[in-house]
Amino acid sequence: MKPVLTLVACLAIGACSTSETSRRASPDIALPPMKTFSSVAVRAPAKSNARIARDFLDLAFTLENGAKMPRFTRFEGPITVRVTGPAPASLSPDLDRLLARLRREAGIPISRVAADRDASITIAPVPRSQIQSAAPSAACFVRPNVSSWDEYRARRNDPETYWNRLTDRSRMTVFLPRDVSPQEVLDCLHEEIAQALGPVNDIYRLSDAIFNDDNFHTVLTGFDMLILRAYYDPALKNGMSEAQVTALLPG
């Protein structure tokens, strides 16, 4: 097997991300300012290959509750995204910009399809009260192997919808609130789509990533794009064990 060269290449050329996140000035109102993307190139993460490899393994093989993922999983082939039901006006343009970044910076073949088409990832905006009733501590969440809120409610105790039972990824739904500020919608899009595509964990030590329970970053960083690019490296396959993935990562 060829080794995963993504991490080495990204560190060498500093080109895994071609845009930087910044905070746009806004009027003095109650809502937080929206985050946007400038054209300033970002630096590669200032970490050793060994440290990034350890971060990758912890993100890929440990769930947020500490449970272990027995195997590596990701989507295979082109990935499609649809939005179903009433959605905030800001969602569609923000989603288009996010998907463009994922194609450009992470090399992931991801695109939108119409709401009435089957899709790899469904974005399902629902009232905030519904999310709070299902997951009181969550602003938004993603669930495998469901395509709607009704299906989620009917199958929430079905082991086939549990992360640690996955053998691959073919169907995910992101549930986010439709009656909150545009910034909150944007935050949910970035973190939950990234989780649907790759990392299943949040790690406190990752101060340069969206995958951090402190919510220090709310849009995908250069480090996040590096991790997602590695997730979709051709050397990795669905079903690999942690030991098999470890053997392919740079040390």
What's the pLDDT band for 49 if we cut at 50, 70, 90?
confident
> Are both 122 and 149 inside the same structural domain?
yes
Termini Cα distance of the chain: 16
pLDDT of residue 162: 94
Residue 39 lies in a domain: yes
Phi and psi dihedrals of 81, rounded to 5? Answer: -135, 135
Residue 29 lies in a domain: no
Least confident of 28-42, 56-70, 161-175, 206-220: 28-42
The arithmetic mean of pLDDT across residues 107-134, rounded, is 97
pLDDT of residue 23: 24
> 158, 182, 197 — which closes off a domain?
197
pLDDT of residue 33: 35
Burial 128-167 (b: 16+ CB within 10 A, else e): bebbeebeeeebbbbbbbbbebebbeeeeeeeebebeebe
Question: What is the total count of domains within the chain?
Answer: 2
Find the length of the chain: 251
> Are both 173 and 96 inside the same structural domain?
yes
Domain hosting 220: range is 1-23+35-74+198-251
pLDDT of residue 50: 86
> Are both 192 and 87 inside the same structural domain?
yes
Residue 30 lies in a domain: no
pLDDT of residue 216: 55
pTM of the model: 0.82
Residue 188 lies in a domain: yes
Residue 147 or residue 55, greater confidence:
147
